[in-house]
Structure 1
Amino acid sequence: MNETLYVSRTGEGAPPLVLLHGFAGTHRVWDGVRAALGGSPGVLAYDLPGHGGSLGFPEAGRAGPAAKAILADLEDRGIDRFHLAGHSFGGAIAALTAIGEPKRVLSLTLFAPGGFGPEINTPLLWRLAEAGNAADIRDCLTAMSGRRPLVAEGVVREAEAMRTAPGQLAMLRNVCGLIARDGRQGVISHEKLAALTMPVHVVWGALDTVLPARQAHDLPPHFVLHTFPHLGHMLPEEAPQEMAHILARALG
């Protein structure tokens, strides 16, 4: 398997926006957001280790090594400073990336990020890891979404196609076991988050069934919180226009 990180790059605007998807996704979860943002700025949307085009990348499922891998890849591309956004597991990786190299991150936007509290819906996460056909995937994504219309069939097809790669389902099970160890997730130090000085936006859906919205109740005072009463966990896919608006604000 290919031991490199896959990235989808569009636009040439600098500094670029780096996008990190959540568990069991790929860079394609950002398609609606990218379309809403238009041609500027430049965007790099990664497949995280163990997912999609980065299936064979080492140490898949651990947020810390993933953050270091993203930073190293950006450095190899000659990208010194960038805006950063992540959803769910990708949000945890984004936060650790900003903590690791704060001077390189111009803004940080976290959509229902992992690591902000120990609670996580482990049974639902395992259902998603085991879902291998369209019907099961659709049921999981619907359970993870809020009150917007049903999950788009294109999203379901993309998720199903991703799982056809040899070893992908086994890898998702492995990653799931690392994310939700003993029914809980790892927690990022509040002190380290509070020490971040770049603009930070945190977005949460009140109907999130994966990571409870109360995990956003004790944010550092300089973080900007955006809450959506009718959205669930799948924010980039449920409401791409709204999420793009928040990103545009972060980009300034």
Structure 2
Amino acid sequence: MSVFVEDGGSGAPTVVLLHGQGASAVVWDGVVAALPGYRCVAVDLPGHGRSGRLPGYPPDAYAAAIAPALPAGRLTLVGHSLGGMAALALADPALGLDVDAVVVLAMKVTWTEEEAGRRAERARRPPDHFPERAFALRRFARLAGLPGTTGDDRLGSGVAPDGAGWRLSHDPATAADPPVPPGELRALAGRVVAPLHLACGDRDPMVGPADLALLGPPVTTLPGAGHNVHIEQPRVVAKLVRAAAPAPRPAA
């Protein structure tokens, strides 16, 4: 299957940006703008945006699909929410990628039974159909946490034609399986050899520092930030990336 990436800038290391559930690479625009001097590769995860779909979406399937689409050389992996899980899987030394650091933002580690039930129910619903593209763009912007307007062409990565109308490009089946258990996520984190950095906002209604700390390393709490910290405070996230990643150097 195909994985779509937006590749901008030059130099090393490459910062790989992995979005959360229902979003696309467009959510990283502010962070990319705040990282001059770095090569930034923003990925549409499988089952999202302009990428193809998978028959199933466990962590290793995300990693196996994304890895061939990444450039060679040193990589700093940055993942938000679902993208954090994909980052942990990509950093497994068994994949052979040259990973300098991993930054995981606001990844949900524990789920209540009610939360898991709502997730499964959403996955069973047929995709919404929109008679006009503007309606689909508005829904994508809301689900992705973007403040953009229906006239923003960048939002087009989240919608697709659907017969006489439009639908979201996100595959509902990405949430069909139960959430990955905390022990499995901790095991993924335990296989990461590169420095692992964890962070979440102190106003995040979905993820708290104690939840994220189950992965092992200390958690940086970001004041005034909610779940979509990369959209709300892109310069703060860029600062985290610069602190985690080696200093950029010009491409050879």
TM-score normalised by the shorter chain: which range applies? 0.7 to 0.9
Q: Compute the TM-score of the two structures, normalised by the length of structure 1.
A: 0.76
Q: TM-score, normalised by structure 2?
A: 0.76
Determine whether 1:152 maps to 2:150: no
The whole-number CA distance in structure 2 between the counterparts of 1:19 and 1:224 is: 21
Equivalent in the alignment of 2:44: 47
Q: Which letter maps to 1:20?
A: L
2:81–2:105 contact (8 Å) kept in structure 1: yes
Task: Provide the residue aligned with 2:86 in structure 1.
Answer: 93
Provide the C-alpha distance between the structure 2 equivalents of 1:50 and 1:97, rounded to a whole number of angstroms. 17
Correspondent of 1:4 among 2, 23, 34: 2
Aligned position for 2:100: 106
How far apart, in 2, do the equivalents of 1:175 and 1:192 lie?
19
* Mean Cα deviation higher: 4-13 or 186-195: 186-195
Counterpart of 2:250 in structure 1 is none
C-alpha contact 1:29 1:237 (8 A) present in aligned 2: yes
1:1-252 correspondence to structure 2 within 5 Å: 3-38=1-36, 40-54=37-51, 56-59=52-55, 61-74=57-70, 77=71, 79-99=72-92, 100-101=94-95, 104-114=98-108, 116-119=109-112, 121-122=115-116, 123=118, 133=135, 152-154=147-149, 158-159=154-155, 162-166=158-162, 169=168, 171-178=170-177, 181=178, 184-187=179-182, 188-220=184-216, 223-252=217-246
Amino acid at match of 1:26: S
User: What is the CA–CA distance in structure 2 between the aligned matches of 1:164 and 1:249, rounded to whole Å?
Assistant: 37
Structure 1 unaligned segments of length 5 or more: list them: 143-150
Cα deviation for residue 164 of structure 1 reads 3.5
Contact 2:106 2:201 in 1 (8 A): yes
Q: In the alignment, is the contact (CA less than 8 A) between 1:89 and 1:113 conserved in 2? A: yes
Residue 156 and residue 112 in structure 1: after superposition, are their counterparts in 2 closer, same or farther (change >3 A)? farther
Per-residue CA deviation, residues 45-101 of structure 1 (Å, 9 max, x unaligned), is 1111111110x2433633321111222223xx4x04311111111110101111244
Is the 8 Å Cα contact of residues 158 and 168 (structure 2) preserved in structure 1? no
Structure 2: distance between partners of 1:190 and 1:111: 15
- Conserved? CA contact 1:15–1:41, under 8 Å: yes
Structure having the higher helix fraction is 1
**2: CA distance between counterparts of 1:53 and 1:102?**
26
> 1:125 touches 1:210 (CA, 8 Å); kept in 2?
no
- Distance between the aligned counterparts of 2:174 and 2:151, measured in 1? 20
Do the aligned partners of 2:106 and 2:199 also contact (CA within 8 Å) in 1? yes
How far apart are residue 126 of structure 1 and its match? 6.7
Alignment partners' CA distance in 2, 1:35 and 1:126: 37
Structure 1 residues 6, 136: closer, same or farther in 2, change over 3 A? closer
Percent identity over the alignment?
Answer: 25
